[in-house]
A and B are shown apart, each in its own frame.
Chain A
Amino acid sequence: MARVNLTVIIGMSLPLAALAAPPADKTGCATCHQEEARLVPKSAMGIAIELADDQAVLKEHPHLSCASNGYKYVIERKDGVSIYTVSDGTALLELPIRYVFGVSSQTFVFEYEGHFYESLVSYYPNVGGLAVTMGSERLRPHNLVEAMGRETSMEEIVSCFGCHSSDGVSQGRLALDTMRPGLDCEHCHKGANAHQEALAQGKPAATPKKLGEMPAEDMSNFCGTCHRTWDAVIRMKTWGQVNVRFQPYRLANSKCFLGNDRRISCTACHNPHANLVRDDASYDHNCLACHGKAAATSGEAMQKPCPVASAKCVSCHMPKVELPGGHSVFTDHLIRVVHAGEPYPN
């Protein structure tokens, strides 16, 4: 189409750091940033992809199976490798699982005859086994290859590795030879490696940008590089409950989202170096930073206090929403006064 496709130019969800990032050195960073270095490798973002040797869930479940669309799927662990098998009763296709994406729910990525495929079934802890991969529910495979998985475009696979790995993408291209699973320091903190290398050599070291100082709008765009920015969701036209997993989009649609205020930024509530905290009460102080006395005493703009409660705010104002096809529940980041029976607000 002759149309100037701005989405193509600026809309791809590829982390900027992935465009030109030298290898990271976690050990070096840990010299000074011990707590972060300790937490990140065990966090969901620190893992993000599991290679053949580290597939904890598959090791824990050495035999998984399910049936869908007339095909039978089996994942078995053999000789330290998980083998994904799909059969139609007369023939079968076997592939070793090289890449497991995700930590809780897990999807498998294969290379087959020069193309990448996303497995048509995934592991879901809430199911306790395999089920159709989210987004592939409507696919009706016509043969074993189609039943094995959905062929992905190169742009899509670059995006996958760009967000789930470090140095898996170089200059916008897939670079599996340098790819390391999960996100290391340089992935988010551009310049971190040069910083620690300079320090190690006793040279003056430029300090990477302090991400925590970004206002909410910038922070949402930064985290949204992988978690989807508000803009990206508009471009994808992802409406309905499926967009509940795109937190920056939901948050930006909140009445209380103030783009120039750090109190509503991603890192105001979440420690990006650690796993998600699921205790509702632990977020109260974040809500009260605007809606409580703290705001009044700090001189910051104060918002209307809740007339109902002053604890576990998120349990009412950020309801849990079932992700269609995802066999999981997400917290809706569209912060609001929820009315019973109201439809899911887009």
Chain B
Amino acid sequence: MSVDEPIISCRASHNAEEALSNSAGSQPKVAAAIRGRFTDVILRVHNVIVRVERVAMKFLARIFVSATALIAASGACAATFEQLAAQANAAREADRIPQAIQLYKEALQLKPAWPDGWWYLGTLFYDGDQYESGRKAFAEFVKLEEKAAPGWAFLGLCESETGDYAHALEHIRRGLEIGTGIEPASEQVIRFHEALLLTRTGLFDQASPRFMPFVRRGVHDPTLIAGIGLTALHEQLLPKEVPPERRELIASVGETVYLWMSGDTTKTGPAFQALLERYPNAVGVHFLYATYLLSFRPAEEALAELKRELELNAHSADARAMVALIAMRAGSESAALPIARQAAQDGPMCPMAQYAYGLLLASSGDLRGAIEHLETAERLDPANVEYHMGLAGAYSKAGRHGDARRERRTSIAIAKESDPHGPG
């Protein structure tokens, strides 16, 4: 993906055909132009062509051939299905979308176990911004082809558009986990949506590193900047959901954090100063600056910013949890404990607050309470290695050796997974 290429939306033409032939050459050529086409209408960013990887297409083509053969052999309705399927494909290829949709529907009534039909139907709905219908079509498709990564990814993209964010994230991740069948260009788009969905579902710590590959490549897109800004401010929104009066703030925060992420140390500090001058009373900005300071400045400076954040937002569980963790790190565990307790009360859904309180309870000897809060943190954000590590220690001290070993294994697996240089 080049700097100028979009990351949020893809568009492909159904008119553009690409006949994919079997590489052996002995099989009949199957015209299987499958081009995912989807548009983010609201954000109106650039377009990029999405194609399903050759392997997936061959797989679908094989199924198509097999299904056709079966129908042909089975008698009465065989000719009708074949005819409908051929007409549907022809209509799609000629860009007669409404007709193609109708023909696919009719063909699928005759043969519901026709994966190609569900796939094409899904992509046509998606391209037509009919996301609920697209969701249903892709859901049928993945029932038949549960290892087809593009199917899961498109199902997730449809669910994202219909507001079912939890399932959208789950299914996009499933598609990415399968790992094959998605073309690199499409994968980038899907990964970007994954990052946005992580923010939308409140998993900010997981979202941040997922933006990093785009920053490293120099991608500079308003939607990316907004996504980074929302993540940095811990706001559970998609870029398109940002109210107009907050767009400037989100963009400013996003630009500042973008500089930080890109490692531009000379510009990041001044950018933060400018941000603080412009938005001295914006909730989340001082917390953000504190996290920045913690990387290279004495903890007192970060604490001062956290104090300002708490003056603006007295119930900021994140800020209070960070204060508690810093105090714990400095050896003031008795002072940190009530702060963490308050953070956990203020943020029952804030994993860092639950984690901080759990750690401090473990340190105080209340292992039962510690485990309860650490398990909550882990449940809220299961991909965060710190929460598994905290639990491993608490289980170990409590004599729950099997649980401790499980959490240690999980921690190591997560750490290795996030380490591109690890042995795996």
Contact = CB atoms under 8 A, between A and B. Distances in A.
Interface of A: 1-10, 12, 16, 19-20, 155, 172-173, 215-218, 221, 230-231, 234-235, 237, 239-240, 252-253, 255, 257-260, 346
Chain B interface category by residue count: 35 or more
Interface stretch (B80-88, B93-101, B396-404): B396-404
B393 A9 contact: no
A231 B393 contact: yes
A89 to B, nearest CB: 35
B208 A3 contact: yes
A234 B415 contact: yes
A305 to B, nearest CB: 19
A252 B257 contact: no
B250 interface: no
- Name the residue in A1, A215, A216 with the highest tally of chain B Cβ atoms < 10 Å from its Cβ: A1
7 residue pairs, one from A and one from B, having the closest CB atoms: A259-B396, A2-B232, A3-B208, A260-B399, A237-B419, A16-B331, A217-B396
A277 B130 CA distance: 73
B228 A5 contact: no
Interface of B: 204-205, 208-209, 212, 228, 231-232, 257, 260-261, 288, 291, 294-296, 298-299, 318, 322, 325-326, 328-331, 352, 355, 359, 385-386, 389, 392-393, 395-399, 401, 404-405, 408, 411-412, 415-416, 418-419, 421-423
B331 A2 contact: no
Given A1-B260, A8-B294, A10-B328, A239 B322 contact: no
Contacts of A173: 298
A20 to B, nearest CB: 7
A260 B328 CA distance: 22
Contacts of A257: 396, 401
A3 B205 contact: yes
A88 B361 CA distance: 57
Q: Which of A216, A239, A255 has the most CB of B within 10 A?
A: A239
Contacts of A239: 416, 419, 422-423
Given A2-B232, A346-B423, 12 more contacts: A2-B204, A2-B261, A3-B291, A4-B318, A9-B294, A9-B329, A12-B329, A20-B331, A217-B393, A237-B415, A259-B398, A260-B397
15 contacts: A4-B291, A7-B386, A9-B322, A16-B331, A215-B397, A217-B393, A218-B397, A230-B389, A235-B415, A258-B396, A258-B401, A259-B398, A259-B399, A259-B401, A346-B416
B329 A231 contact: no
Nearest to A155: B296
Contacts of B257: 1-2
